[in-house]
Amino acid sequence: MGLNWVASYCPHAAYVMKTDCDMFVNTEYLVTQVLRPELPPRQQYFTGSLMKNYIPNRNEASKWYMPPELYPGDVYPAFSSGTGYVFSADLAGSIGEASLTIGLLPLED
């Protein structure tokens, strides 16, 4: 929903950032090393912490339990950590549209 809002109401934004409220953002590093204002804004750009080879938690007592009925696979496909990521605003609409065709996994804290 937020991605569609960005796509509709922020046509001049160069980048979008999502971060959890309990995360620290090193804004100096973000601007100078990731966003690089001396260069033209990047297109089709996404950066974050890539999570690979994570296995579903099958412990029913865990907060992070993933029932096999919701995700039957043994390993999740690679994904970006939800703690924080940055992407070029031109991707907002595409990501929003793609999200409509992918099932939701309830893993948010």
CB 16 within 8 A of CB 92: yes
Nearest to 15 by CA among 94, 87, 91: 87
Nearest to 50 by CA among 78, 85, 75: 78
pLDDT at 109: 60
Helix segments in the chain, DSSP class H: 2-9, 27-29, 92-99
pTM: 0.83
pLDDT digits (tens, 9 = 90+) for 16-54: 999 999 999 999 999 998 889 999 999 999 999 999 999
